[in-house]
Structure 1
Amino acid sequence: MGKLWSKMTQKKDPKEYQQKDAHLLQVLGVRDFLALGVGTIVSTSIFTLPGIVAAQHAGPAVVLSFLAAAIVAGLVAFAYAEMSSALPFAGSAYSWINVVFGEGFGWIAGWALIAEYFIAVAFVASGLSANLQGLLEPLGFKLPAQLSAAFGSNGGMIDVIAILVIVIVAFLLSRGTSNAAQVENLLVILKVAAILVFIVVGATAIKFSNYQPFIPPHKVNPDGTSFGGWQGIYAGISSIFLSYIGFDSIAANAAEAKDPAKTMPRGILGSLLIAVALFSGVSLVLVGMFHYTNYTGNAEPVGWALRHAGHPIVATVVQAIAVIGMFTALIGMTLAGSRLLYSFGRDKLLPSWLGELDQRNLPNHALILLSIVAIFLGAVFPFSFLSQLVSAGTLIAFMFVTLGIYKLRPREGKDLPVPGFKMPLYPVLPAVAFIGALLVFLGLDHMAKLVTGIWFIFGVLVYIFYGMHATDQED
């Protein structure tokens, strides 16, 4: 037991990470990180969750759920900005926690993020497939049922479109991050433009009577969840929070940033600010166009609202660009997830070939493994199952990072550099951010928490029987 605790608290030397990551090309600037962040955060969720959460939990007050979730995400983003500025290494929370808490705690944080990225890549690919098929079906393009959905879902055996989009993104990223960033920048501009078109056109159909009462009276839904009152707003926060987790994908690529002390904070905080504004705008317009009860069970509320307000052409254009927007999220999640797996291989906690770079100095072994696992999940498991699991692992990593500020701050200017950004109101704000992330986690679906617990038990066993012994040999 003493040896296990000693290994868990053995801190990594940041100079070792600098040396190992030195071969990664530093080609990403603020604009690239803003595009990665907005492309990942403003994704599937913005076109689906505002209507769904309004109907199930919050009514017109869905915007308050989005704002409250954004406040928690913003507090965590402050911690991420300071960490990534002081410790610009691949792997984000995994690498940071290794430096400030030790190897075992870094493993736990990284294991949580591995689950997020495996599931998130599959989740977005599955959602993109469903939306693309819905868009193409009126044009006469329809795949056989066996090839159009995950196993056991609507007569499906395998989702070939989900497989195809993951392969396309993997090929694009295997050619280099600068090429991927150029594609991402262009697609994000299109997506933001489509969202702004919806807000402007939809605003002309707002009826202020749809906002009354803004916070409906509380009641319990048939499934036991809350609707209305502060309880409904809180239930909405836990459902919505997955919308904001994408800023971790920026931090995971810190080793490939130009001037990371400035680039990382601006990319993380800037992309989150843009996302909050867009989510709030869509939420307010959507519940103003039609009474929130119209969005019950509606998987495409934005397109539905535009069509029923007399704008079918705008609805088609916005939905088409929404599919493109999901492609940008897939790029961001795949890029970040492959860098996290590379970090595990770099540190020998998983097989060392994951930490090897190819002739272009790219971690393509890690990219291939991530893509294979995501293809399996996205092609076989249905979208609704994947959606329940995305947030849990990330929130655990978020809690580690907020507490990590207390270990980081005393070392800044000593054995660690002074970061270009510091979390304000220290030491109060890191604790508030931790409590906020914990409260959101406690509000998650019971099944999501159960599966997360099983994943962590498996992860601890992998560390005890493989990871800690592999690093012993390295030492």
Structure 2
Amino acid sequence: MNKLLKRMLAKEDPKVYQTKDSHLVQALTTKDFLALGVGTIVSTAIFTLPGVVAAKYAGPAVALSFLAAAVVAGLVAFAYAEMASTMPFAGSAYSWINVVFGEFFGWVAGWALLAEYFIAVAFVGSGLSANFRGLIEPLGLKLPAALSNPFGTSGGVVDLIAVVVLLLVAILISRGITEAARVQNVLVILKVLAIILFIIVGATAIKFANYTPFIPAHRLNSDGTSFGGWQGIYAGVSSIFLSYIGFDSIAANAAEAKNPSKTMPRGILGSLLIAVVLFVSVSLVLVGMYKYTNYANNAEPVGWALRQAGHPVVATAVSSIAVLGMFTALIGMMLAGSRLLYSFGRDGMLPKWLGKLNKNKLPNNALLLLTVVTIVLGAVFPFETLSQLVSAGTLIAFMFVSLGIYAVRPREGKDLQEPGFKMPFYPVLPTIAFLGALAVFMGLDIEAKEYAGYWFILGVIVYFVYGISHSTLAKKNKNI
């Protein structure tokens, strides 16, 4: 048993990751990371979640839910910025935790993130498909049910548009990270302009009576969840937090950054700050335009509010750009997910062909597997019950990274490089970040926690059946 524990807690030498990842092309700048982060964080959710959370949980105080979620995300982002600046390796939390806590804990953190990328990519692909079909139907263009829905759902066989979209994004990324970043930058600018357009036009229709009472009295919803009061604000935080987790996609690409000690912190913290301003602004404008009860079960609150206010052309323009903007989230998440799978293959934790680079120094084997899995999930199988696994898995990784600051700080300037950014108010803030992530995790519904538990058990099985005996650390430390 003692030998097994030593084996599980064996730590990777950071120089090994530096050597292995040096083959990746270092081409991404601060501008690219800002676009990557904003494109992933400010996704479909900004056009839907403010209305949904206001109607179900927080009322006009939905802005406070977004702010509270942003505070927790910001605390964790401080930890991410220091980690990425100190250890600019592919795979983000998986690689960092491998170095500071050991292989088993690194695997757990990475496995948790893998759930995020598999499911989130599939969901955004399906969401883009649904929104695109909604835009073309008024033009008389309608796909048959068999090609519009996942297998076994409403007469569906395969979601054809989701398949095509995921393939297009995969082809773009496979051509090189520079080309993907160029497309990402343009689309992010368009999406932010569409959001600003909504804020400006929507602000002209605000009625201040819709803000009162700003925090409605607390009551229980029919499903047992809370509405109003601080309880409703807290319930909204757990639903909203999914929106902010995209900064992990920046960290996952750290090995492809120019001057990572500076570009990584700027990209992570800058993109989160931009996202917070946009989310809070959209929330305040939306609940100011119409009473929050109008957004109950409303799948398109932003477009609906603009049409009701007499701006159908603006509504169509914003909705169209929103669909186009979903590509930015797919680019960011598929880039990050493929780099995470590459890291698993690089370390032998999953089959080594995943860690191979092609002649252009790109991890396209990992991208291929990610594409196939997400197409199967998003285009063939219905999976609504798995949605909160995205938040659950990421929050587990966030807790590891927050505590990891205590292990990495004494090693900086020794076997780890001096970072370009350090988490402020050490040693207090890492604990607060950990507790904040834990509080959000506890606010997830019981089903999300159960599925996170099942995913964790599956990950442990994969580790003991395959990873522990095939990893490069196992071969290096045969005497352990």
Cα distance, 1:301 vs. partner?
Answer: 0.3
Q: What displacement does 1:473 show?
A: 3.6
Structure 1 residues 377 and 474: alpha-carbon distance in aligned structure 2, compared to 1, 3 A threshold: farther
The letter for the 2-side match of 1:197 is L
Task: Tell me whether 1:56 sits opposite 2:63 in the alignment.
Answer: no
- Aligned equivalents of 2:127, 2:152: Cα separation in 1: 16
Alpha-carbon shift at residue 462 of structure 1 (Å):
0.8
1:77 maps to 2:69: no
Contact 1:126 1:382 in 2 (8 A): no
Tell me if structure 1 keeps the 8 A contact 2:78–2:423. yes
SS in 1 for 2:158: coil
2:16 match: 16
Q: 1:86-125 residue pairs with structure 2 within 5 A?
A: 86-125=86-125
Deviations 1:339-371 (A, max 9, x none): 000000000010000000000000000000000
Distance 1:77 1:364 in 2: 28
Mapping for residues 10-409 of structure 1, pairs under 5 Å: 10-382=10-382, 384-409=384-409
Could you tell me how far 1:3 is from its partner in structure 2?
A: 2.7
Query: Distance between the aligned counterparts of 2:25 and 2:31, measured in 1?
Result: 17
Q: Report if aligned partners of 1:27, 1:257 keep a CA contact under 8 Å in 2.
A: yes
Q: Please, which moves more after superposition, 206-215 or 374-383? A: 374-383
Aligned equivalents of 1:305 and 1:339: distance in 2? 39
Residues 443-469 of structure 1, C-alpha deviation per residue, up to 9 Å, x if partnerless? 112111111100110100111111011
1:383 deviates by 6.5
Partners of 2:386 and 2:448 within 8 A in 1: no
> Conserved in 2, the CA contact under 8 Å of 1:122 and 1:386?
no
Separation (CA, whole Å) in 2 of partners of 1:77 and 1:58: 25
Amino acid of the structure 1 residue aligned with 2:127: G
Contact 2:198 2:318 in 1 (8 A): yes
> Aligned partners of 2:410, 2:250: CA distance in 1, in Å?
25
Task: Give the aligned partner of residue 444 of structure 2.
Answer: 444
User: Does structure 1 retain, via aligned residues, the 8 Å contact 2:386–2:451?
Assistant: no
The offset of 1:384, in angstroms, is: 3.5
Q: Which amino acid in 1 is paired with 2:366?
A: A
User: For the residues of structure 1 that align with 2:2 and 2:467, how far apart are their CA atoms?
Assistant: 17
- Secondary structure in 1 aligned to 2:423? coil
Give deviations 1:107-165, integer Å, cap 9, x for gaps.
00000011110011101101111111111110111100011011233322211111111
Residue identity (%): 74
Indicate if the aligned counterparts of 2:65 and 2:236 stay in contact, CA closer than 8 A: yes
Partner AA of 1:118 in structure 2: F
Q: CA deviation at 1:4?
A: 2.6
Whole-Å Cα distance in 1 between the matches of residues 4 and 42 of structure 2? 41
What letter is aligned with 1:175? R
**TM-score, length of structure 2 as denominator length:** 0.98
How many angstroms does 1:380 deviate by? 2.4
CA contact (8 A) 1:127 1:383 kept: no
* Partner Cα distance (2:68, 2:382) in 1: 29
| Distance (Å, rounded) in 2 between the aligned partners of 1:470 and 1:136 | 50
In 2: Cα distance, 1:242 partner to 1:166 partner: 21
Q: Does the aligned pair in 2 maintain the 1:357–1:365 contact within 8 Å?
A: yes
Query: Which deviations, in whole Å up to 9, do the C-alpha atoms of 1:95-114 show, x marking residues without a partner?
Result: 00000000110000000011
- Secondary structure at the aligned position of 2:132 is classed as helix
Displacement of 1:474 in angstroms is: 5.3
Q: What is the aligned partner in structure 2 of residue 2 from structure 1?
A: 2
SS across alignment from 1:357 = coil
Tell me the amino acid that sits aligned with residue 141 of structure 2.
F
TM-score of the superposition, structure 1-length normalised?
A: 0.99
1:52/1:295 contact within 8 Å kept: yes
Q: Which amino acid aligns with 1:398?
A: F
Distance 2:416 2:365 in 1: 30
Q: 1:236 offset after TM fit, Å?
A: 0.1
Q: How many residues align?
A: 475
Paired with 1:453 and 1:84, the residues of 2 have a C-alpha distance of: 28
Partners of 1:113 and 1:212 lie apart in 2 by 40
Question: Contact 1:11–1:99 (CA<8 Å) still a contact in 2?
Answer: yes
Cα distance change, pair 382–309 in 1 and its aligned pair in 2 (3 A): farther
Residue 386 (structure 1) shift:
4.4
Question: Structure 1: 5+ residue runs without aligned partners?
Answer: none
Q: Distance in 2 between matches of 1:310 and 1:30?
A: 40
